[in-house]
Structure 1
Amino acid sequence: ITIILILFIPLLIFQHTRAGEIIGGHQAVPHSRPYMAIIERELPSKKASFCDGFLLNKEFVMTAAHCQARLVFLGVHNFHHRNGVQEISSEEAYIHGNFINTDTVFKNDIMLIKVKGNFPVFETNKRTIFNKGVQPIDLPDPGSLSRPKSCLVSGWGKTSLTAKHQSGVLMEVNVTVTDRQCPMEHSYCCDGESGPYRGDSGGPLVCEDGKAYGVVSAFFTPHSGDPSINIFTKISDYASWINSTMKHHGMVN
């Protein structure tokens, strides 16, 4: 029986931070991944829950479609230390029209969040400000057919299979895109022994040229006892949708 285990298990408000690593990885150098964003999800239960995302320009953040957005935090390394962090409200979330969410699978798991330009940022700024800790990341060229191999994943998710809480500081891990066919269309896959875990949904798969090639979506185990596989939404397959969405709903920077 194929089992899909979803990565968006809620972050537990970053309290009682557990020392450790994104599975198999290490703590990132503070603000060395300035494109990273924490996204507070908007849930009916009102219980705090978080995903990751990444900044494309001053107006748009990319994340997974299953991450409903309320607030976006930029410039974060340690979530307990808010100095220099920009907190911006979500103006609108644009979920891919063919996104499918079932009990066993996500398909077309990609979303763009437009952030409000006039929301107070910790009572000092009123828009997304680029600085050392806040910078956008580029996406691969739409016509590129090359498959990345050596990549990196960052996030504030759980650091082990048994961890009760997510990491309060940004972790990162190197992963290798597999040659074998992914179980999902429009996806990249990496072996799951090292990689993202619960709470890392929506973060980027950043590869050799420093561009974001994928969005952390899910992981699955083909059969009981088999190694798990991490699934990333393949960004280049959605280039037309990304460009048209940003063109019609904002100004591409």
Structure 2
Amino acid sequence: MAPEKVLLLAAAVFVVALISQTEAIMGGREAAAHSRPYMASIQFTEGETTKHECGGFLIADQWVMTAAHCLPSGPNGRRVVLGAHSLSETEETKQSFDILQVHNHPDYSTHYNNDIALIKLDRPIVASEAVRAVEYLRTNGTNPGTGAAVDTAGWGSVNNLAGRTDKLKELFIEVVNHARCGRRDYYGRKFTINMMCAYKLCPKPCNETYSIEDACDGDSGGPLLYNGVAVGITSNGGKKCGQVKKPGIYTIISQYTQWIDNTLAL
């Protein structure tokens, strides 16, 4: 093989490797400031810098719902910020909380089954137009079916090659057939009855790096909403975002009503 072709091939392999290690929101648009007052940013401190790690959403005056894989070993100094639109800018709407307790579902597994957690804040929120709880679906509620329009939001990356967004982005996608997501060429046996998957196919490649609109890593823990009600929790996806056969996976909230009620009563 000519030296020039070897160099081109090596460069291509490097780019593919770089892409495959990065996950986040694909597509979408910036949300109107504070239009999703339930959104939470779970943050950790690195030196003198505070960084966004996962999303979450307010479901009661002192409780935030998120994904168990975001805090597998407890708070470890993390904080929760509510009322944010920009993560970096000073906003009077922001309220910052220490984490009093983390309750990961007792049956959570590293394969992301039962990927749900509840965070108890160190004090109740001060309700405002920018900080307000969202309703979540309970047992016997109607979950969205195949093709239903759903939406999510987060502070994840804008594509496989870019850093995470500073301002909240939102994404409008569709529920994918459950049986399809359980196929061997999709997720196989790791896709359980406690999960749904969703994405939006682009009529043509969205850009040169992905062909669907989707959510993953930096948006983990955020809500999936159906008609304004939280029905899912952003859980996980493929190793590379934007893959047609690796739609974003969401934990179905209505499967956990009894556990949620018992935990909130603590």
Coarse TM-score class (shorter-chain normalised): 0.7 to 0.9
Give matches, 1:173-188, under 5 Å.
173-181=171-179, 182-183=181-182, 184-185=191-192, 186-188=194-196
Larger Cα Rg: Structure 1 or Structure 2? 2
Aligned 8 A contact 1:10 1:50 in 2: no
Determine the C-alpha separation between the residues in 1 that align with 2:37 and 2:142.
27
Give matches, 1:113-192, under 5 Å.
113-117=119-123, 127-148=124-145, 149-163=148-162, 165-181=163-179, 182-183=181-182, 184-185=191-192, 186-191=194-199
Give matches, 1:10-89, under 5 Å.
22-41=25-44, 48=51, 50-68=53-71, 69=75, 70-84=78-92, 85-89=94-98
Listed as ranges, the gaps of 5+ residues in structure 2 are 1-20, 183-190, 201-211
Determine the C-alpha separation between the residues in 1 that align with 2:55 and 2:260.
18
2:232 aligned residue: 214
Following superposition, the deviation at residue 227 of structure 1 comes to: 3.4
CA deviation string 1:9-64 (max 9, x = no partner)? 799xxxxxxxxxx4221000000000000002589xx9955100000011100000
Instruction: Calculate the aligned-residue CA RMSD, in Å.
Output: 2.5
Determine the C-alpha separation between the residues in 1 that align with 2:150 and 2:23.
25
Aligned 8 A contact 2:156 2:165 in 1: yes
Question: TM-score normalized by structure 2?
Answer: 0.74
Listed as ranges, the gaps of 5+ residues in structure 1 are 1-7, 12-21, 118-126
Farther off after superposition, 175-184 or 238-247: 175-184
Tell me which protein shows more helix as a share of its residues: 2
1:100 aligned residue: 109
Counterpart pick for 1:231 among 241, 249, 259: 249
Aligned 8 A contact 2:155 2:167 in 1: yes
Determine the C-alpha separation between the residues in 2 that align with 1:236 and 1:176.
19
Question: TM-score normalized by structure 1?
Answer: 0.77
Q: Give identity over the alignment, percent.
A: 31
Determine the C-alpha separation between the residues in 1 that align with 2:116 and 2:144.
19
